[in-house]
Chain A
Amino acid sequence: MLVVVLDSATPAVTAAVAAVRRDDVEILTLRVSVDARAHGELLAPAIQGVLADAGVKPGELAAVVAGLGPGPFTGLRVGLVTAAALGHSLGIPTYGVCSLDALGWGQPGTVLAATDARRKELYWAVYTDGERITGPAVDRPDEVAARAAAAGARRAVGEGAEKYELGLAADGPRYPVPEALAALAADRVRDRAPGEPLTPLYLRRPDATLPGQQRKSVLQ
C-alpha cells in the first residue's frame, strides 16, 4: 500500500512516498528541505515532487501519515492542513504520529529526543528502546536536562539537543525520520483503521495578545 508521509514540526520540511507492506516499510522517494521560515512554500512542491519521482498518482495513495508535532505552530499547521486536505480530497484516511516519536524510534537504550520550541525552550520526550516513557512536553533546557537525567537518558537525538547544552551526547538523527513516521502508522495503514482528525500537539496555550499595531500595518 502506498502512503504519503509528511512532517513540518521542525525546520525540516519532509515529504515522502512510502510503501507499507505486510512485513516492512520502505521509503520510495523523499524530499527534505531545511528552512524554518518557508514550510508553506516548500511542502506542496515537495509532495508533488515525491509523487512524480515515484511515478505515483494521488489517486493511488491509500493513506496520509503526518507528524502531529509538537513543533512551532505556524509550520506545524502547514503540514497538518495539507495532510487533512489531501486525505479529504482523495477520500483516504489520515493518521497522526507524534513527531518526537519519529526521532526516538529505533534508538537503543534510554534516549532524550528534543527539538527547538523557540523562546529558549525545547519540545522533548524520553524513549527506552523506542518506546516513549516521558513527555511530550515543552520546557526550558535546564529543566529538560534535569528531567531527562532523572528518566535515565544517556544520549540525545534531535536538533534541540545540539542547540543547547543538556549534558548528553547528541549523536542521532536531527529531525523526524521519514521511515519512522511511516513505520509508526504502518499497522493502522495495513488494518485500514478509521482515519483520525489531525490534532496538533501544541502543548502551549495561544498567546492572547492582540495584533495591535502590527496588524494595522499589514492589513492596510
Chain B
Amino acid sequence: MKKKISRRLFLKAGAATACTLAVPNIASAVSKADIHNQLATLIDISKCIGCGACVEACSEVNSSKYPAPRKPFPKMYPKRVPVMDWSDKQDVTDRLTPYNWLFIQSATVEKNGEEIELTIPRRCMHCVNPPCVKLCPWGAARQLENGISRIDPDICLGGSKCKSVCPWKIPERQTGVGLYLDFLPSLGGNGVMYKCDRCYDRIADGKLPACIEVCPENVQTIGPRDEIIKQAHTLAKETNGYIYGEKENGGTNTIYVSPVPFEELNKAIEKGKGKPHLNPVKNVMANANNLGTAMLIAPVAGVVAAVGKMYSMAKTEKEDASDETE
C-alpha cells in the first residue's frame, strides 16, 4: 500500500518548521556580547606596602554613600532574621563592612627560602558576569556598561541573596536603612547591602577610583580588560609571578599578580566573615547559562514534536481509510 502525505499537510508542517529556524540564530547571537571593553584593574601585590592609604581614601570619598540607619530597628519576624548593625563599629578596617568597602589582608609566606610579608588590597572582584547582579530578584544590583557592578541603595531590600551567591561573600548588610522600611519592615527585607562600587561616579566624571589615585606605590592600574590581562601576563612573565582573577568565576575585572602561588597566599591569609579567600573559583553561572542557551532553541523541539505527531496521525488515518475500503 502506498502512503502519501497530502500537499496541504506538507505545507503546514513546512511553515511551522520554517518559523522556528530563526530561533537558533537568536541563540547564537546571545554569546556574541562584547565583554572586552569592561574596565579592569591590575593589582601588583609585590608593590603593596600595606600603608592603608587606599582604605582611608575609599572611606573618605564614599562616606556620603554609607548607611544612616533609623533606630530603633523594626522588630523582625520570625526571630531567626538577624539584625546586622555596623553603625556603632564604623571604625572597623580589618574586614569588609557596610562602612569599609576595602581592606588590607596580610600573609607571611616563604619565597626562595626567605620569609616575606605580603599585603593584599581586597574588595569586590567586579566579575565579568557578576552573580550578585544576575541573580538579584529585584534588579537592585546592577552592572554598568563599563563592567562595574554596584548595588542601588534606594531599591535594595537587604535580602542578602547577593552575598549568598557571591563566590567571595563580598556584600555586607546594614539593617534599619532602605526601602523595606516603607513596606513591611517586620516581615520582609532587612536593610541594604553595601560593597565597593569602584567609584563609578568618579569614573563617570573622568577621575580615577580613590584607592588608585592615592596609592603611593602605584599598586593598581586601571584600563580596558584586554589590555589589563596582557599587562598582567607580561608582569607575571617578568617576575615569575602568578595570576588570580583572570579565570576565576569565568573571569573578573580585578586581576592580582603575586610573587608566590595563590594557594600559599590563601593558606596564609586570615579568612572568615568579611575576609574573602583566594581559592580557585569555578564559573558559578555557567551551568544555568548553558541551559539558557538550550532554552532559546527549545521551541524547535516543540515544533518538531507537533509536526511528527501530525504526520503519524495522518498516516494512521490513511491506514484506517484503506482498511475500511478493503
A and B pair up: no
- Residues of A with Cβ closer than 8 Å to B? none
Chain B interface residues (CB < 8 Å from chain A): none
